[in-house]
Structure 1
């Protein structure tokens, strides 16, 4: 991280969507300049979870 995180609150909501789910990630972070870095990491993690479940029978 280029700067230390002073504050972070992240929430993940998983909502039903047809035969699957819709995932919504929201965050509050200070300093705000770190938001894209954390968002990218979380997005990659969520994509990994999706791959895990789609690759299982």
Structure 2
């Protein structure tokens, strides 16, 4: 998936290899995620599934 336009988290400190990276799939079917330390391994989630995960995480913070 290296052909995607990967973007690093704003929480990535110093540009090291301990960052979460995301990329929107060109066909709009989902979002790819990977860890910068292991860029050859990634997974794809639908936008809806990723949104549900983030909502659940934020609910646990509050």
TM-score band, normalised by shorter chain: 0.3 to 0.5
What's the TM-score, normalizing by structure 2? 0.34
Identify which of structures 1 and 2 has the higher relative contact order when contacts are C-alpha pairs closer than 8 Å and 6+ apart: 1
Q: Which has the larger radius of gyration?
A: 1
